[in-house]
RNA sequence: GCGAGAGUGGCGGAAUCUGGCAGACGCGCUGGGUUUAGGUCCCAGUGCCCGCAAGGGCGUGGGGGUUCAAAUCCCCCCUCUCGCACCA
């Protein structure tokens, strides 16, 4: 009798699959199988695989293998999101080149993925830091540039004085540098942006095409885009006559405006303050804002602010109101100035009470006592009836808002408009390890895109990339000196590089034709494989990566390069792997790594631990599911041992007849596991396979045969534990070919039902008896059987049965009275 | 504060979509067996309470409702997690 030994089985099949060139997607035009694109978010190659990879890729691989066994031509690629700051930092720390560090990690992660038996098409491997890839990242940038979708402008950015580099918004936590903890400053730098704001409404409208996205991800994207419907209204400054527009979602409260507030960064503030004689005071606020990071300003005090000494004129009432500058008004949203309605806005209310500005009620709640501006203790932001608003008095929200907008437009005093929270995508980085921005700055011609024939603009290797306050590429003595492609005069390359999110915004397209030389992708291949059938990855990419990819796809659609507008109609997020309720981290010393467990117990066990722990999208607390002893044998490993011996025994038993109950259970299991896999409910699928294993063993123990049950079990195990399945399939069952090719087992509908079932007998809703009856029992017979039950009779206890609920063959409920 | 999701044994979870045996499956634990240095392996038990048992009572965060019947549907409340958070 052979014993289950993963360390013997698994390396053997790793080598065999490699030698067989298995898991290659077919490009044979004669291959009529339906295509399925199973995509996993490509990993960032820092160090070896971590538990999060093991979780995500176990799920993604189960889907890919399931689809392949069902007869799909599956594209399941892998690649490396290889550019980025961590590589640069690691390289600085170790005194080696970022490329060296990155390629070493790629090698290690690739070896680990192979050891785990991931069914990747290795022939399509791509790497964003390879010139053959980033050539096309740069090409796409030039296309965006040509279409006016890439542009440069001066902008306030986060700056870490310690690391001497700009930081992405995501790298700033509570106003401090995520890595070194230094307080982040603001700097005004000229930056490259992609005009995602041109696509805002389409990003919202095309939500209908996102057939199967987690609800919370959709919500997060919607909130991030932040659509607000309202009106733009123009106030005039009394002292200068200049016109300042504001955005409001509540034009119906225009008659309640009692003051006007500028962002401290508003360009008119200094001039107006000097005119009003308040600049000494205002400049303190301005300096304060400059010293604070963009992110920490979120916490600015609502009540802080300074009177500018000038006044604004309310366009609907002609009333003159004081103007303030206050940090609670954001320059980045709307117009950078607001009309303040303290009666109906919480923030304006707090400001008004502090600065003793009058509060005026112009909306009265419908079913409550009338409010009084002098005595109210909080703003009323709800719906109600307009008052003190001229001829609009008596109109009710929300209809009143539309009515006011209509009137404003007719009067030429404002217009209905929509505002979004979403800003353009800042992609330039003053870092080394990214694709250089393919632009040449010519004194005569301005910004000129590098011609396609000159791409890629390669990243020079001989660069001092120590952080120093400017782009490392700018420090290179010769790299930036070029001639202008347009006029031939002396010119300079742009020395910034692109954000890694640009690299990852189109990699899924490149997979379809990874060696393609005439463009970023072969349009025919993309049309054949895309959109992605199932996209698996972490919820941390719910907003940025997924939103950017959707944007890029829409631009490519507009360019006529792809025939679809959404790249990922179906997305699933794996949960996080945590330890003791907290995320794993070096500083906490609680990191558990998958590869040592693979070595100890096998890749099949690691995959099963992950997928059996609970729903795929739920977090896994390693401490709870695995305990604290790293040597403790995982439960799934014991199960695999039992599967191994059961299948072996079943083969030895040959064609001995199988019990009818086992045949039915096998059919039911096929149905259930198939349905579970279609909905990515791996944990319940595995549980069903364990039940089938237990019953198979029981049949064998009883002297019966179980060969067909064992065969189905082996097939269904393959998406989760591909190694043991392959071993049992090819060696024990002696089947020709790989279990990875299936076929996925089918069930006989006639055999998914039991021939006998337990009839539940209830009296007044309480279970009193369980009777074994034929599954086909009639309602009358079921009722009779229930009434014959001794237990039920005792429970009725002479009372009158007033109602008989019969749901044959499952249940009878006798309802009594008295 | 706003939005989303979730509360079930000692633990992970199942049953929730479609109202009908709550606790599948697994971990852990208890007892027994084989082997024995231990682990492995095999068998039995394991929601709580009463009971030798048969059986009975209670039980899915709390309260109310609908129903013959509620973990499941509806209303209110509590708690937790996640996301967003001066967005005018």
Q: What is the pTM of this model?
A: 0.93
In this structure, what token pair is assigned to residue A18?
């490699």
Tokens of A494: 């742009």
Q: Which nucleotide is nearest to A326 (CA to C1')?
A: B86
Distance of A689 CA from B28 C1′ (whole Å):
22
Are the C-beta atoms of A81 and A505 separated by less than 8 Å? no
Cβ-proximal residues to A768 (8 Å cutoff; 6+ apart), any chain: A761, A762, A789, A791, A792, A794, A795
Q: How many other CB atoms sit within 10 Å of the CB of residue A308? A: 30
Q: How far apart are CA A21 and CA A122, in angstroms?
A: 9
| CA–CA distance, A254 with A1 (Å, rounded to integer) | 86
DSSP A79: E
Sign of the torsion formed by the C-alpha atoms of A508, A499, A424 and A347:
positive
State how far the Cα of A792 lies from the Cα of A762, in Å rounded to an integer: 7
pLDDT in tens, A312-339: 999 999 999 999 999 888 888 889 999 9
Are A687 and A715 within 8 A, CB to CB?
Answer: no
pLDDT digits (tens, 9 = 90+) for A722-767: 999 999 999 999 999 999 998 999 999 989 888 888 888 888 888 8
Task: Give the Cα-Cα-Cα angle A51, A57, A58 (nearest 5 degrees).
Answer: 85
Give every CB contact of residue A354 below 8 A, 6+ residues apart in sequence: A303
Give the residue among A692, A579, A704, A594 at the shortest CA–CA distance from A643: A692
Q: Which residue is nearest to nucleotide B86 (CA to C1')?
A: A328
DSSP A256: G
CA dihedral A318, A320, A322, A327 (to 10 degrees): 10
Q: Which nucleotide's C1' sits nearest to the alpha carbon of A223?
A: B84
Report which secondary-structure segment, H or E, holds A805. strand A800-807
- Give the residue among A794, A789, A786 at the shortest CA–CA distance from A812: A786
Q: Is the dihedral of CA A194, A198, A201, A202 positive or negative?
A: negative
Span A503-552, pLDDT tens digits: 999 999 999 999 999 999 999 999 999 999 999 998 888 888 999 999 99
Omega within 30 of 0 (cis) for the link into A148: no
Task: For residue A634, give the nucleotide whose C1' atom is nearest its CA.
Answer: B27
Cα(A258)–Cα(A237) distance, integer angstroms: 14
- A97-106 pLDDT, tens digit per residue, is 999 999 999 9
Protein CA A766 to sugar C1' B54 (Å):
18
Instruction: pLDDT band for A692, please (50, 70, 90 cuts).
Output: very high
Poorest-confidence range of A133-137, A349-353, A672-676? A349-353
Residue A121 and residue A76 in contact, taking contact as beta carbons nearer than 8 Å? yes
What does the mean pLDDT of chain A come to? 90
- Closest protein CA to C1' of nucleotide B17, residue: A679
Per-residue confidence band for A707, with pLDDT thresholds at 50, 70 and 90: very high
Closest CA to A442 of A481, A484, A480: A484
Cβ burial of A414 (10 Å; 0-12, 13-18, 19+) is buried
Stated in angstroms, how far is A642 CA from B33 C1'? 19
Query: Which residue in A519, A521, A518 sits closest to A510, CA to CA?
Result: A521
Residue A255 and residue A385 in contact, taking contact as beta carbons nearer than 8 Å: no
* pLDDT above 90: residue A13: yes
User: CA A234, CA A232: separation in Å to the nearest integer?
Assistant: 7
CA dist., res. A213 & res. A681, Å (int): 15
Compute the distance between CA of residue A643 and CA of residue A635 in angstroms, rounded to an integer. Answer: 13
Which two structure tokens, joined as six digits, stand for A766? 């309480």
> Of A585, A421, A422, A425, which is closest to residue A500 (Cα–Cα)?
A425
Neighbours of A145 (CB within 10 A): 21
Could you read off the pLDDT of A138-156 as tens digits, one per residue? Answer: 999 999 999 999 999 887 7
φ, ψ for residue A557 (rounded to 5)? -65, -45
**Tens-place pLDDT, residues A168-211:** 665 666 666 666 667 777 777 888 999 999 999 999 989 888 88
Distance A480 CA to B32 C1' (A): 81
Q: Nearest-5° angle of CA A663, CA A666, CA A672?
A: 145
Which nucleotide does the CA of A231 lie closest to, via C1'?
B88
Q: Which nucleotide shows the minimum CA-to-C1' distance to residue A642?
A: B41
Q: Which nucleotide is nearest to A230 (CA to C1')?
A: B88
Beta strands in A89-206 (DSSP E): 126-127, 150-160, 165-167, 172-173, 176-177, 185-194
Which chain B positions have some atom within 7 A of a protein CB?
A: 3-5, 11-15, 20-22, 24-28, 39-43, 55-57, 68-70, 82-88
CA of A633 to C1' of B36 (A): 19
What is the pLDDT, as a whole number, of residue A817? 76
Q: In what order do the strands lie in the sheet with A577-579?
A: A582-583, A577-579, A620-621
| CA A488 from centroid of its chain's CA atoms | 46
CA–C1' A218–B79 (A): 26
């Amino acid at each position: 009798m052979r014993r289950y030994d993963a360390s013997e089985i698994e390396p053997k099949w790793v080598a065999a699959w490699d030698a067989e060139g298995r898991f290659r997607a077919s490009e044979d035009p004669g291959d009529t199988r339906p295509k399925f694109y199973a995509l996993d978010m490509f990993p960032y190659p820092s160090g070896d695989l971590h538990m999060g990879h093991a979780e995500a890729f176990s799920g993604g691989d189960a889907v890919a293998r399931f689809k392949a066994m069902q007869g799909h031509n599956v594209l399941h690629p892998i690649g490396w999101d290889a550019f980025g700051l961590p590589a640069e930092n690691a390289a600085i720390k170790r005194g080696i080149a970022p490329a060296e560090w990155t390629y070493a990690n790629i090698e290690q992660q690739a070896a680990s993925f192979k050891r785990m038996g991931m069914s990747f098409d290795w022939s399509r491997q791509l790497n964003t830091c390879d010139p053959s890839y980033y050539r096309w990242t740069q090409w796409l940038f030039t296309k965006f540039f040509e279409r006016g979708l890439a542009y440069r402008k001066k902008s306030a950015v986060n700056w870490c004085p310690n690391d001497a580099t700009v930081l992405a918004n995501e790298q700033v936590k509570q106003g401090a540098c995520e890595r070194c903890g230094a307080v982040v400053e603001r700097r005004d730098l000229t930056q490259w942006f992609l005009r995602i704001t041109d696509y805002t409404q389409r990003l919202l409208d095309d939500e209908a095409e996102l057939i199967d996205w987690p609800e919370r991800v959709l919500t997060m994207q919607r909130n991030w885009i932040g659509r607000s419907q309202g009106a733009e209204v123009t106030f005039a400054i009394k002292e200068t006559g200049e016109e300042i527009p504001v955005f409001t979602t509540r034009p119906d409260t225009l008659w309640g405006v009692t003051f006007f507030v500028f962002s401290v960064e508003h360009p008119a503030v200094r001039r107006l303050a000097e005119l009003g004689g308040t600049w000494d005071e205002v400049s303190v606020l301005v300096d304060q804002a400059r010293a604070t990071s963009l992110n920490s300003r979120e916490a600015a005090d609502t009540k802080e602010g300074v009177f500018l000494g000038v006044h604004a004129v309310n366009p609907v009432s002609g009333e003159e109101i004081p103007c303030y500058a206050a940090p609670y008004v954001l320059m980045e949203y709307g117009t950078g100035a607001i009309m303040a309605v303290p009666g109906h806005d919480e923030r304006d209310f707090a400001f008004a009470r502090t600065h003793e500005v009058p509060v005026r009620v112009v909306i009265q709640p419908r079913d409550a006592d009338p409010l009084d501006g002098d005595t109210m203790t909080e703003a009323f932001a709800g719906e109600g009836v307009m008052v003190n608003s001229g001829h609009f008095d008596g109109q009710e929200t929300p209809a009143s808002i539309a009515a006011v907008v209509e009137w404003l437009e007719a009067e030429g005093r404002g217009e209905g408009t929509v505002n979004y929270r979403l800003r353009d995508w800042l992609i330039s980085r003053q870092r080394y390890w990214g694709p250089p921005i393919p632009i040449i700055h010519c004194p005569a011609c301005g910004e000129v895109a590098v011609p396609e024939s000159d791409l890629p603009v390669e990243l020079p290797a001989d660069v001092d990339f120590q952080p120093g306050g400017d782009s490392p590429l700018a420090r290179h003595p010769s790299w930036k000196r070029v001639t202008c492609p347009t006029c031939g005069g002396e010119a300079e390359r742009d020395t910034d590089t692109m954000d890694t999110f640009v690299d990852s915004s189109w990699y899924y397209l490149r997979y379809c034709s990874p060696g393609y030389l005439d463009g970023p992708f072969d349009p025919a291949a993309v049309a054949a494989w895309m959109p992605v059938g199932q996209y698996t990855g972490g919820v941390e990419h719910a907003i940025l990566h997924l939103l950017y990819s959707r944007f890029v796809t829409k631009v490519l659609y507009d360019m006529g390069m792809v025939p679809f507008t959404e790249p990922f109609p179906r997305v699933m997020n794996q949960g996080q792997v945590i330890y003791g309720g907290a995320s794993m981290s070096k500083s906490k010393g609680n990191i558990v790594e998958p590869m040592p467990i693979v070595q100890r117990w096998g890749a099949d066990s690691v995959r099963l631990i992950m997928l059996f722990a609970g729903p795929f999208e739920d977090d896994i607390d390693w401490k709870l599911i695995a305990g604290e002893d790293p040597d403790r044998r995982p439960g799934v490993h014991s199960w695999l041992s039992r599967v191994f011996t059961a299948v072996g025994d079943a083969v030895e038993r040959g064609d001995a007849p199988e019990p009818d109950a086992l045949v039915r259970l096998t059919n039911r299991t096929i149905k259930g596991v198939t349905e579970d896999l279609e909905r990515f409910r791996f944990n319940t699928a595995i549980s069903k396979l364990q039940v089938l294993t237990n019953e198979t063993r029981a049949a064998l123990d009883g002297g019966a045969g179980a060969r067909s049950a064992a065969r189905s079990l082996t097939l269904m195990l393959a998406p989760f534990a591909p190694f043991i399945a392959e071993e049992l399939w090819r060696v024990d069952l002696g089947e020709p070919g790989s279990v990875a090719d299936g076929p996925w087992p089918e069930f006989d509908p006639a055999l998914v039902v039991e021939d006998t079932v337990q009839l539940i007998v209830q009296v007044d809703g309480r279970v009193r008896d369980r009777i074994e009856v034929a599954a086909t029992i009639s309602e009358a017979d079921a009722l009779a059987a229930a009434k014959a039950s001794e237990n039920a009779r005792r429970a009725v206890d002479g009372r009158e049965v007033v109602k008989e609920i019969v749901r044959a063959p499952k249940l009878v409920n006798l309802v009594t009275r008295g």
